[in-house]
Structure 1
């Protein structure tokens, strides 16, 4: 039996050579292992319980209760140009799936053609045409024409799953682009909320300055009266005037800042500058709701940037398989059927004008595969890069939540102390004015007290703003805002 096989192989050296080539192709394909991604997270945040109740599960319309703010966010989600650009990228990624899917299906084409050719008589083709008749009455025309019509088909057999893996990678990249859009929505919602609260804080600061200007102008009038009664000097009058002018100047700076923040919001909403509706008179009394951080492992599901990084990692793994499949031979089948003749009247004569073909081929790289090796090495490097990117994204998300939780706690304590400071300084203004009227306090004490009271009122507004911004940022850090 062995002798028979050996005899057949000796009679078929071409078959043996093909087998050896294919074996060498399989055996020479490199393999490089990329380390697994680390998905472990801490069990709980510092100084936080392990309760799984998570604020990120709330949709943004439930989290933000100000109707003016929710109206701005709704408009931005429809009109923001950057978000609409991202939606077009999602459509392009979706079209890429269709393109990749079509690659592993048969390609069928219809063709029709006409050709004119004149060959020399002292050539083989010329001699044949000169002496050969198709029929007794019909010689080859000169110049020779050629007409054809038919169908052709080609199909690459995806035996190594290169094309199917490419299509799966395109699907993952499409899903990744959707998560990228969701991450953009989260950022857009938080950016509008931050700007809105900043605008309300500026309104409150402007109201405080206007109120203090009234007090300072009244104090200026009193100092002028006391000067006329020889109970105060010109120096005191000038110092009070300077304080009034300083706060009048600060008022214009705040007004300019208000215009800029309004225009920032209008840009995010996708419209030209206009007034932003808000109710800033309740800014300082706004309640800060309780935050439920859940557990760190929930970030893997709630954070869209983590989900995007995970999908990109999966796509990178498939692209590595695609690059490795380039080392293996590709198997293709092509076929065609049609009609062909040198005169149009013969096209309808069958089977004389009928032409058909069926071809199968195996093509694989044998020598000088450096380009394929380089592409495979790059694919492995990109996969490892995606591993590090995923781990960095998870770590960054944990750090953001940890910082935000600490910030919320410290700002709450800071606000309580600043509130007590404001009350004490407001009371000291009345005391200083009474003492100044009775000549028991210097004008500098009144000026200093008014200045400190104004600074403390501005600072508590800043602290309230920072509380509200922290309220937005912790929601964003936990993965809320995109649902």
Structure 2
């Protein structure tokens, strides 16, 4: 029996590891979106790498992204969540194999016979034991381990999704800052122009050429331009603070030099088919891993209706002398205690657990489908904007150029005394608004390209 016991345990463990699974066979849900995007595009090759190093080619932006990936706290939390899931999977995986402990103990006891005789005995024991190891014939522990593994994979993809969002948010904040720099420069130029006009009108008013209404109007417009400068300076400071937060407060001023928006180069990428999002988008992959985990949990809940076999066994040496415990005179002892636990009555707990597992799988299916629909909409929105934004920028550029020519003519007419100040003021205001709108459209175009990086699952 001493030689057959280890073999018996090994056979039972092998049968346990090869246990059947009561989990439903997993099948990926059908795509809950159309087969093509609303706006037709040339499909991009599926193997195209949407990495931020190649997509964002501006060196200053690349430096900021690198700082963010090294120091951003949201990304750091996501990495720690991966380690948490890794540890949880390790715990669940360990339950599939027996836990073997070494023991060394001492026991002293007194026995009393019926005649009143007393006997004191003491002995030392050393050995190994396996306590309450579950023979997983119905796959309960295996499914729990599989669910933990899928949760680990989900956390890995969630970390990539956080990185994608971080890169997108930082690139957007960078573009917003550049746009604010340009708008602030325009506002400052307008303020100087209106202050110059105010000085000129004051002189003309003192000479009797302009009336008090024109002087007061010039003062109001100068104050309005000053207020615009102040508001844009405030927005600029907030944009800089946003970049500092995203980079973990590591962004130096040298990494944010003022430059025109057109200097920011972004890779041109055409989206592929909607089905490619399943592999490209980390959030969709994470949602599917959570769905597979929920599917495995159903198998674990079903297994609770079947008998559970628990194994407790031990083997070791016994001697009344500690020094002789590992010598040749020690007695060998062992025990083998299998236990069958059969669920009879638990007030519906097992059925409720199964119902809960099924509902959670249905929730996971809905979340998976929602992730796909959200991704499809994000790509579709980007395509719609891309289709229109270039035309709007070209049209607004012509409007700004026309306003610039109008201001030049109005200035000449005013200086010659042919037009009044209100005509000049209207031309100045129109050009300022046109230039501001043009900068906003260029900003929108760049932000839309940044959103395409996120929508297609950049990393």
Q: TM-score, normalised by structure 1?
A: 0.83
Question: Of 107, 112, 115, which aligns to 1:126?
Answer: 112
Q: 1:192 to 1:237 in 2, by over 3 A?
A: same
> Aligned pairs, how many?
437
Q: 1:286 to 1:344 in 2, by over 3 A?
A: closer
Counterpart CA distance in 1 for 2:312 and 2:444 is: 69
What is the CA-CA distance between 1:235 and the residue it aligns to? 2.5
Partner of 1:361: 339
Counterpart CA distance in 1 for 2:226 and 2:364 is: 55
Partner of 1:198: 176
Counterpart CA distance in 2 for 1:301 and 1:35 is: 16
Of stretches 460-469 and 354-363 in structure 1, the one that deviates more from structure 2 is 354-363
Q: Does 1:159 align with 2:151?
A: no
Question: Of 31, 38, 46, which aligns to 2:38?
Answer: 46
Q: 1:224 to 1:54 in 2, by over 3 A?
A: farther
What is the CA-CA distance between 1:332 and the residue it aligns to? 2.3
Q: 1:44 to 1:115 in 2, by over 3 A?
A: same
Counterpart CA distance in 1 for 2:321 and 2:268 is: 88
For residues 34-73 of structure 1, what are the structure 2 equivalents within 5 Å?
37-39=29-31, 41-49=33-41, 51-53=43-45, 57-73=49-65
Q: Does 1:451 align with 2:429?
A: yes
Q: Does 1:299 align with 2:277?
A: yes
In 2, are the aligned partners of 1:418 and 1:460 still within 8 Å (CA)?
A: yes
Q: Does 1:431 align with 2:423?
A: no
What is the CA-CA distance between 1:279 and the residue it aligns to? 4.5
Counterpart CA distance in 2 for 1:90 and 1:372 is: 31
Q: 1:466 to 1:47 in 2, by over 3 A?
A: same
In 2, are the aligned partners of 1:158 and 1:164 still within 8 Å (CA)?
A: yes
Q: Does 1:148 align with 2:117?
A: no
Of stretches 97-106 and 344-353 in structure 1, the one that deviates more from structure 2 is 344-353
Give the alignment's Cα RMSD to 1 decimal.
Answer: 2.7
User: Unpaired runs of 5+ in structure 2?
Assistant: 1-21
In 1, are the aligned partners of 2:141 and 2:300 still within 8 Å (CA)?
A: yes
- What does the per-residue CA deviation read over 1:142-192, in whole Å, with 9 as the maximum and x for residues that have no partner? xx6564332212432221122222222211111110100010011000000
SS in structure 2 at match of 1:280 = coil
In 2, are the aligned partners of 1:55 and 1:475 still within 8 Å (CA)?
A: no
Of stretches 332-341 and 246-255 in structure 1, the one that deviates more from structure 2 is 332-341
In 2, are the aligned partners of 1:79 and 1:270 still within 8 Å (CA)?
A: yes
In 2, are the aligned partners of 1:187 and 1:476 still within 8 Å (CA)?
A: yes
User: Unpaired runs of 5+ in structure 1?
Assistant: 1-29, 119-124, 132-138
Counterpart CA distance in 1 for 2:214 and 2:48 is: 57
Partner of 2:68: 76
Question: Of 186, 193, 207, which aligns to 2:164?
Answer: 186
In 1, are the aligned partners of 2:58 and 2:264 still within 8 Å (CA)?
A: no
Moved over 6 A (4+): 30-36, 348-352
Partner of 2:77: 85
Max radius of gyration: which structure?
A: 1
Q: 1:364 to 1:439 in 2, by over 3 A?
A: same
Partner of 2:375: 397
What is the CA-CA distance between 1:97 and the residue it aligns to? 2.1
Q: 1:282 to 1:109 in 2, by over 3 A?
A: same
Of stretches 197-206 and 267-276 in structure 1, the one that deviates more from structure 2 is 267-276
Partner of 1:228: 206
SS in structure 2 at match of 1:140 = strand
In 2, are the aligned partners of 1:50 and 1:295 still within 8 Å (CA)?
A: no
